[in-house]
Amino acid sequence: MKYYNANLIKDLDKISNLVYFNEWFLYVEEILLSDEFQKRKLFYHHDGSLWNHLVSVSYRSFLMAKYHFKKADPRVCAIAGLLHDFYPKAYKYSKELDDLDHFYVTDVKKKQPIHKMHAFSHAKDAANNSVKYFPYLIDDKIYSCIETHMFPMTPIPPKYIEGWIITFIDKKLSFKNIKEISYLPKVIYERFFEK
């Protein structure tokens, strides 16, 4: 398996010297070690791999809880941030996917009805997939944070402060390279609707 690496610290060398890393790592180590999660290194996500995006959202949400929101639980931010896009199948083709089982690419070229399009369906899919692979880690709060992270593209807002943190950090990272606000509709279309 080309994607699998049991030496997580090597994968995480860009952040392993940063503040509070050990605490964050303790919360998420078993997710990072799972074979299913490591397959996300091969999933396309905007400018890089989905794995990179998930680690960034998790670590930054965790830090935001530590530094800025006393009422937020850093553990919830770390776990829900890491799993917020843990949907079961890739939605865009990338050549890296050729290393994976056919299961992961079956939806890539399929036309979907609107309510099943990636932008509107993947948050719920990620919450359910998280329960499937990590049932002992997912409580109602973590499930809700994952399920609502696409607000306002999906209608139900986050119920918990941790959910708002993840929603904010996810948007901030996903749109960080957009120089002008007028490009936004085009970028949203390319990222969430175009195959």
User: At closest approach, how far in Å is the CB of 187 from Fe ion?
Assistant: 14
Cα(67)–Cα(83) distance, rounded to whole angstroms? 22
Q: Which is nearer to Fe ion, 38 or 174 (CB)?
A: 174
Question: What is the C-alpha separation between 20 and 41, in angstroms, rounded?
Answer: 24
Alpha helices, DSSP H only, in the chain?
A: 8-11, 21-33, 35-38, 50-68, 74-83, 118-133, 140-147, 161-174, 184-192
Site string for Fe ion, 29-68 (x = CB under 5 A): ----------------------------------------
Residue whose token pair is 């800025």: 68
Spatial neighbors of 68 by CB under 8 A, at least 6 apart, are none
**Cα–Cα dist 143/141, whole Å:** 5
CB of 179 to Fe ion, least distance (A): 21
Choices 11-19, 30-38, 85-93, 153-161; region in contact with Fe ion by CB under 5 A: 85-93
* 148 SS3 class: coil
Number of residues near Fe ion (by CB under 5 A): 2
Nearest CA among 97, 145, 93 for reference residue 123 = 145
Which residue, among 145, 186, 142, has the nearest Cα to 163 in the 3D structure? Answer: 145
Least distance to Fe ion from the beta carbon of 70, Å? 25
125 is a contact residue toward Fe ion (CB under 5 A): no
Q: Judged by CB under 5 A, which of 85, 125, 147, 162 binds Fe ion?
A: 85
> Which of 9, 172 has the CB closer to Fe ion?
172
The distance of closest approach from Cβ of residue 57 to Fe ion in the complex, given in angstroms and rounded to an integer, is 6
CB of 72 to Fe ion, least distance (A): 18
Residues numbered 146 to 185 that lie near Fe ion (CB under 5 A) are 170
Measured from the CB atom, the residue of 75 and 118 that comes closer to Fe ion is 118
In angstroms, the CA 60 to CA 56 distance is 6
Instruction: Please choose, out of 77-85, 88-96, 105-113, 177-185, the segment that lies near Fe ion by the rule CB under 5 A.
Output: 77-85
Nearer of residues 27 and 91 to Fe ion, judged by Cβ: 91
Residues that bind Fe ion (CB under 5 A): 85, 170
